[in-house]
């Protein structure tokens, strides 16, 4: 009997290995993939992330799932670059809601700055060193009748990328201003005219002073498309 027991214990490790080898591997440490249409990854029979297959249809094959963060809402990027030369402030302006750009709204990340204040300081800076008839010149009421603080507030709180419910959409067309913006609108000339042009728009017109109401760059020979995306046709050569 003792010899039988000894032989049994000698073969016990082999029996243990055999049992382990025969176990169903699915019962041990197996990660079961939970496929869903809201898990944020492309799996199962999806043709896009959480769309296609047994999930909702993908829109034109594009994936619009996920969380989107607004990065830039500037309707007038030229206005922002001209009246705010500081990169972080430009970024803050582009991300700020238009309703949060008034003289009562402190710029995010600052302690007491507002966008009208920043624009007003830059308006004053642009006139440093200019002399007309041997008299230093500062900002005076522009062609829209704004003084410097009013102009700065107007720039900060008006978004030009709006839709004119009535009349043409334009950045400037005769007496119509800022009902929207077209590719053919001369944004920089409009900006310079508002900044340096007096009530008659000719204070710095090259006759009464330096030519500061135009950058001298027009549309050139560009021909814009009449259909979306409206840009000029790409070069073929």
Residue 103: band (very low, low, confident or very high) from pLDDT cuts 50, 70, 90 = very high
Q: pLDDT digit string (tens) for 58-95?
A: 776 566 566 665 555 555 556 677 788 788 888 888 78
pLDDT of residue 26: 52
Residue 195 confidence (pLDDT) above 60? yes
Cβ 79 vs Cβ 191: under 8 Å: yes
* pLDDT tens-digit readout, 132-155: 888 898 999 999 999 999 999 988
% of residues, the chain, pLDDT over 90: 17
CA-to-CA separations, 124 to 19, 22, 83, 149, 215, in angstroms, rounded: 87, 85, 10, 10, 20
Mean pLDDT of the chain: 77
pLDDT by residue (tens digit) across 3-43? 545 454 455 554 554 444 554 555 555 555 678 888 878 88
Given a cut of 90, is residue 99 above it in pLDDT? no
Q: Is the pLDDT of residue 118 over 80?
A: yes
Asked if 181 contacts 75 with a C-beta cutoff of 8 angstroms, the reply is: yes
| 99-105 own/partner pairs: CB under 8 Å, 24+ apart | 99/157, 101/156, 101/157, 102/153, 102/156, 102/157, 103/153
Parse the chain into domains and list their residue ranges. 77-196
Amino acid 29: pLDDT: 54
Res. 105 pLDDT band, cuts 50 70 90: very high
Confidence grade of residue 107 (pLDDT, cut at 50, 70, 90): very high
Cβ pair 197, 189 in contact under 8 A: no
**The predicted structure's pLDDT at residue 117:** 94
| pLDDT at residue 194 is higher than 60 | yes
Q: Are the CB atoms for 233 and 223 separated by under 8 Å?
A: yes
Name the pLDDT band for 237 (thresholds 50, 70, 90).
low
- C-alpha 7/C-alpha 84 separation (Å) is 91
């Amino acid at each position: 009997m003792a010899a039988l027991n000894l032989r049994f214990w000698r073969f016990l490790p082999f029996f243990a290995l055999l049992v382990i080898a025969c176990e169903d591997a699915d019962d041990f440490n197996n990660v079961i993939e939970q496929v869903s249409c809201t898990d944020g990854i492309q799996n199962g029979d999806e043709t896009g992330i959480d769309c296609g297959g047994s999930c909702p249809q993908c829109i034109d094959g594009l994936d619009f799932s996920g969380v989107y963060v607004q990065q830039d809402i500037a309707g007038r990027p030229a206005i922002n670059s001209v009246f705010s030369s500081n990169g972080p402030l430009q970024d803050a302006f582009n991300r700020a809601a238009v309703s949060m750009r008034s003289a009562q709204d402190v710029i995010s990340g600052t302690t007491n700055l507002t966008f009208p204040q920043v624009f007003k300081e830059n308006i004053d800076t642009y006139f440093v060193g200019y002399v007309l008839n041997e008299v230093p010149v500062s900002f005076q009421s522009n062609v829209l009748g704004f003084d410097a603080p009013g102009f700065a507030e107007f720039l900060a709180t008006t978004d030009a990328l709006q839709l004119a419910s009535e009349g043409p959409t334009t950045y400037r067309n005769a007496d119509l201003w800022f009902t929207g913006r077209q590719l053919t609108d001369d944004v920089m000339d409009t900006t310079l005219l508002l900044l340096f042009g007096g009530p008659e728009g000719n204070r710095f017109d090259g006759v009464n002073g330096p030519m500061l109401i135009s950058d001298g760059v027009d549309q050139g020979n560009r021909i814009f498309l009449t259909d979306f995306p409206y840009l000029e046709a790409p070069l073929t050569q």
